[in-house]
Amino acid sequence: MGEQLATADILQKYGTGAARAETPAQPWLESLRTGARERAAAAGLPTPKQESWKYTNLRPLEKLAFGPRSQDQIGIDRLPNLLPQGQSARRLVFVNGQFRADLSTRAALPEGVRAGSLANALAEDGAGLKDLLGRIANGDGEDQAMLDLNTAFVSDGLFLHVAVGVRIDLPIEVIYLGTAPREPQAFHPRCLIAMEENSSAIVVEHHAGIGGGAYFANHGCEARIGERAELRHYKVQAEADDAIHMANVHVEVGAGGVYDSFALTRGARLSRNEVRVRLEAPGAECHLNGVYMLRGDQHCDNTTAIEHLAPETSSREVFKGVLDDRARGVFQGKIVVHPKAQKSDGHQLSKALLLSDSAEMDAKPELEIYADDVKCSHGATAGDMDPDALFYLRARGIPEATARHMLIEAFLSDTINSLAAKGLCPALMSSVGHWLSDAATGDAP
């Protein structure tokens, strides 16, 4: 257990003081926050002594002294777009965790779709959210202190509700901007998604820093995917260099439902994506994929836990990473097949390319199986790029640097190109290209 903090200290250290002011007083919401705050204070920050935090140390976070939320409206000249104009159903922009209507688009959405700010939804229909918020992501389970910290300050973030049978083809684009021009900032956006039966939606999250500075983005997300519903949840994390990014995603998938997630990580000095999926009914399916590209002293941790609770559920997981300089990649994947989940199918793969002698990769792919009629497998590799492939390209007159870039792109591209939402692949591949060209211009330390 980490150092225990008094509840008041938690409020002071990580709170922004603004959480309560923004949303109207609602007793259930207040007790949700208080409960989480007390749990977070009792547990303290996770430390490497805890098994699920073995490879990730939050000391850099402890060292930050957060200032009060800056009250000035931050001017944004240019939004870091991921999707071309007109390619998204709606664009929602959050700056330091707060919704900015002035930067967001208000294009009409199909009937039955609500996509907007959680704070607004709480203000308009607080009682309606009572049974949704904090139900799936409720702090149960091991080492959920970061989620509790998020819940303690829950106020704003994405709220998406898709009614029975409604399918939206264009993605909902969510841009989270972080900035801390003067003092370090902490914010705790919360995303709440409810997909009803037979519905389908694509959510694309883009996390970026503007103007640099040290900030702590502690995201929480919970999604309920109903029968035969589909949620494609993609994320590009390109936070500022000094940022700390944490994301706790909790998902429940109903019969025949699909949760498809992809995370591209290239920003933040310290980041962790923790995804917990419960496949609750027969036929539920999830795909958790990701790529990460790190250099300097960056640290990225991808931790996933998939629980097969019902028969004939399936999961697929592929994470690939490229590590340069002193970067450290962590992959902890766990598949649990419960006794009733016969005929389940789970596959997991972690691959890492180490480009420098000081880079480090720690992988812990874990299977926990209590049913016999299952097919589960996992694999993990780490190492340098194939010298034969490099030689092949060099022999054809391609300079070494270019050849290495080609091989890295090829290594990452098959995960990216396996995305179901094909329209997004070019944007993701160009993100890989940017990362590679940063190295070429000597941007790396």
Partner 1 sequence: MAANVETLEQVQAVTEKYKYGFVTDIETETAPKGLSEDIVRFISHKKNEPEWLLAWRLKAYRHWLTMPEPQWAHVDFPPLDYQDSYYYSAPKSKTDGPKSLEEVDPELLKTYEKLGIPLKEQEMLAGVAVDAVFDSVSVATTFKGKLEEQGIIFCPISEAVQNHPELVRQYLGSVVPAADNKHACLNSAVFTDGSFVYIPKGVRCPMELSTYFRINAANTGQFERTLIIADAGSYVSYLEGCTAPMRDEHQLHAAVVELVALDDAEIKYSTVQNWYPGDENGVGGIYNFVTKRGACRGHNSKISWTQVETGSAITWKYPSCILQGDNSVGEFYSVAITNNMQQADTGTKMIHLGKNTRSRIVSKGISAGRSQQTYRGLVKISPKAQGARNHTQCDSLLIGDLCGAHTVPYIECRNRGAVVEHEATTSKISEDQLFYCRQRGISQEDAVALVVNGFCREVLQQLPMEFAVEAQKLVGISLEGSVG
Q: How far is the CB of 261 from partner 1 (least distance, A)?
A: 23
Q: Which is nearer to partner 1, 14 or 55 (CB)?
A: 55
Residue 33 Cβ vs partner 1, minimum distance, rounded to whole Å: 33
| Cβ closest to partner 1, residue 183 vs residue 362 | 362
Question: Alpha-carbon distance 274 to 246, whole Å?
Answer: 8
- In whole angstroms, the minimum distance from the beta carbon of 94 to partner 1 comes to 37
**Which chain residues interact with partner 1 by CB under 8 A?**
51, 339, 342, 352, 354-384
Q: Which two tokens stand for residue 154?
A: 């829950």
- Integer distance in angstroms from the first to the last C-alpha of the chain? 35
Give the DSSP letter of residue 242. Answer: T
- Min dist. Cβ of residue 352 to partner 1 (A): 7
Residue (310 or 363) nearer to partner 1, CB: 363
Say which residues have a Cβ less than 8 Å from residue 105's Cβ, sequence separation at least 6: 88, 90, 91
The residue among 261 and 348 lying less far from partner 1, judged by its C-beta, is: 348
Q: Considering the complex, what minimum distance in angstroms separates the CB of residue 435 from partner 1?
A: 18
Element (H, E) at 390: helix 387-395
- Single-letter code of the amino acid located at 296: G
CB of 331 to partner 1, least distance (A): 9
Burial class (CB in 10 A: 0-12, 13-18, 19+), 212: middle
3-state helix, strand, coil in the chain (%, to 5): 25, 35, 40
Answer for the pair 195, 227: CB distance below 8 angstroms, yes or no.
no
Residue 425 CA, chain-centre distance (Å), reads 18
Question: Which of 278/351 has CB closer to partner 1?
Answer: 351
Measured from the CB atom, is 166 or 337 closer to partner 1?
337
